[in-house]
Structure 1
Amino acid sequence: MRNLDLQQKERAEILQRMSQAITENNSEAYVQAFNDLAASIQEAVRAEYEQAIQSNDASILAQRGVRQLTSEENQYYQAVIEAMRSNNPKQALTEVNKILPKTTIDAVFEDLTANHPLLDAINFQNTGALVEMIVSTSSGVAGWGDLTATISNELAGSFAVIELGQKKLSAFIPVAKAMLDLGPAWLDRYVRTLLVEALATELEAAIVDGDGNGKPLGMTRKLSGAVDGVYPRKTDTAITDLSPTTFGTILNTVSQGPNSKRRTVPELLMVVNPTDYYTKVFPATTPRTTDGGYTTGVFPYPTKVVVSPAVPSGKAVFGLAKRYFFGLGTSKGGKLEYSDEYKFLEDQRVYLIKLYGNGRALDENAFVYVDISGLVPVVQKVEVTNIDDFPTA
């Protein structure tokens, strides 16, 4: 089994390539990176299997990410394994009447939010098979008025219907035939791991900068003005520091809720790509103290920084994390389907699962798009007072 640190480094490099391919709309590069990801995960799972199978200790297996399957999950994966081994896997898999168990999808969502801070920060929900959700776009609908006044103005614009079925995310799962010999629990481990990594990359790209055309609407996009289904990006305001004055301007925008009502901002979310964080944000938030040391993460307002490769270089997003809603669930069938369209490696069969969902900011001012390409390091300002007390030459 290869060194764990080496595996993690390799996995991070592959995910970076996938994210870049999504940004550049380079399908060939994405397929190659995804192919490498699948091969890496399969190798890791098989190595874990070889080490762990000698012990049937549930606690040891759990430490390696192998869950104790429910009877429903076990029956499902067993049926899938038998179908994959058949001479006509496409027909056999079509005849599998069992849907992907809800508990498996729940486990995928738990792993997603646990390992990806951006998904954990926003209002991210497993909606199951729901077709649409009604969400509140304002922080409240109550208001004072005459006893005879209509309440329609107070309610107008306070709710929105998010069509979950309009956006489809297809996750392809290449399964080597040798993986079938490991059994249901290890197949579940492989499927969940690959789904988590593939979904997280696609989801973060959509949440940050999705244009609404066949995909969710990202934080960087306006909520109106679409042309041919594509929503325009917000104007990126250039900032050169993270001073109280700069934060005050950002907070002034974010605190303006729907219907011209002000709202409290308990904490700001800042989303930035890894390179910009280390080369720009970190130097701008690490002042030197009077004793010669350094204090890191100094902001003039409570701020949660989330690093995501989905953010374009030189840009950042500030806003209210919970004002971005994303609902994701399986299709009505939730089945794994056989695909002849993609050929990744020899001796593999490629399957896919379709997940339906959608996401958007709940109001126009919830997020602010900024240009941080000119951000400069923080410099501790020193002022000399009572200069007359110093001796002159």
Structure 2
Amino acid sequence: MTLPRIAVDAMGGDEGVRTMIEGAALARRRHDRFQFLLVGDERRIKAALKNHPNLRAASEILHAEGVISGEDKPSQALRRAKDTSMGMAVDAVKAGHAGAAVSGGNTGALMAIAKLALRTMPGIDRPALAALMPTLGDNDLVMLDLGANTDCDARNLVQFAIMGAAYARIATGLEQPRVRLLNIGTEDIKGTGTLKDAAAELKSAARSLAMSFDGFIEADRLSRGDADVIVTDGFSGNIALKSVEGTARFVADLLRRSFASSLRSKLGFLISRPATELLKHHLDPNNHNGAVFLGLNGVVVKSHGSASALGVANAVAVTARLLEENLTERIAADLASAEARIETARRKEAGKDSGSAS
């Protein structure tokens, strides 16, 4: 079965056209069902396609004059969107010319453009940025929000949990993902009123959904495999993500420095090389590339700006799977079920309060 076309912002990313095209070509070699709309400078795209006949045969080029830079503010990007590769890629999804869009460009600009063009789904107040993170468990975990919304209320967090669980069922294959809220402690008395309210609503909503709510989790347990979906506001989530990525780089650099410190250490490296290669593979962000804007009327995936061709290919594969598994429809169905359950619980609680008052 051929999937809907994936619009690729060929000008996005730190390495530009060459890496984006190489990544799309790699994805196409792995999955010959993929079809592409390559958006950007036509001359440069055609030049990059010369080495990838398989991708060229499965692609159409949409010429775009402008490019959103990493320095552009979201407001600036919105004003220029219609003539840029990023804006035209997202607009192709809106117009139905592509099923999804992938970009390695400016995250804030991409969110602003996608939100304006595609709008949020009914019942979703704010879209969220979700990504996969490696763990010591049997599967990666989904974490959201990672920076789209710095300030969230309980309703936002509940919606994030529902969307994250739907994504986790696709990404990990789990029928009942374990959802937890990021907090400063695991006890019910810990955290802000917003977190406590969200926890109460999730306990009620989870009973009618294909997920379990396991309460709070602390940041030091993120990578232990104790949860499948971690929910937080974008401010805390972005800090947590950058801390995890920084720690991974620190460990890799420390190992590299240690193994180069003496002849004995170099011999030790040769002996332990299979283990260190496995560690490198597990920590390489290219192997977990592809953050998703959840809650929009369409699929938009953000690739790391510094992603290699392998990373871009993985982001494309994530995009294709979300299309194949009908992510947007799943979220809509789960949201309707959860809202009904939460509303029933609210009415029961209101009835108890009025009864006790009388």
User: The TM-score by the shorter chain falls in which range?
Assistant: under 0.3
TM-score (norm 2): 0.23
TM-score (norm 1): 0.21
Give the greater-gyration-radius structure (CA).
Answer: 1
Structure number having the greater helix percentage: 2
